[in-house]
Structure 1
Amino acid sequence: MTIDHDARLRRLKFRAWHRGFREADLILGPFAETHGPSLTPAQLDVLETLLEQSDREIYAWIVGQEPTPEAFETEIMAMIRKFRFEAHASRPPGDGA
């Protein structure tokens, strides 16, 4: 990774963890931590554009409460949804988090 890529990734991780809507933080923050280092510059562009949207909209798109606009129905959105599903499926029974 280059210094520019590292700095960009640090900013992106911060933005993902500090959305202001806790439910979105708990999906986007861990996603950025886990997948961010392996994303291409083009994929980082897509994620940065997604993070410019409203927290509640992003969350609703991820969990399927609202249809995702075509512009945001991307490989990154699919990766986030899969990540959320796998994280949720791996929680021990009775873990309400």
Structure 2
Amino acid sequence: MAEPRNVRIKRMKMRSMRRGIKEMDLILAAYADRNLDSMDATGLDVYDALLHENDQDLYQWVTGQVLPPTQFSDLVSEIAQTFQK
């Protein structure tokens, strides 16, 4: 049985807040709070996949030190904009 949308969003918000690197906790928690509720299923799928990536890689992608993989480039760009606000 598929995970209900509200449960999935709640789980992803928790995973966004408990990353391991404090900077990523703050960046992803802010992004998740602002955006997950309005995302479509495809957007949630991409974000969920991003949450499985290594924190050091995510931090380098979001801060622009390293280009993210193509499947995450749009999402990382959105997250970086949230982070810079």
Does TM, normalized by the shorter one, top 0.5? Answer: yes
Q: Does 1:31 align with 2:31?
A: yes
Aligned to 2:63: 63
Aligned to 1:85: 84
For these two proteins, the number of residue pairs brought into alignment is: 83
Cα drift, residue 49 of structure 1: 0.4
Q: Deviations over 1:19-49 (max 9, x none)?
A: 0111111100111011111111110000000
Identity %: 31
Gaps of 5+ in 1: 87-97
Cα drift, residue 69 of structure 1: 2.0
Larger Rg, first or second structure (1 or 2): 1
Aligned to 1:4: 4
- CA RMSD between the two structures: 1.3
Q: Distance in 1 between matches of 2:17 and 2:54?
A: 14
Aligned to 1:16: 16
Q: Distance in 2 between matches of 1:34 and 1:67?
A: 24
Gaps of 5+ in 2: none
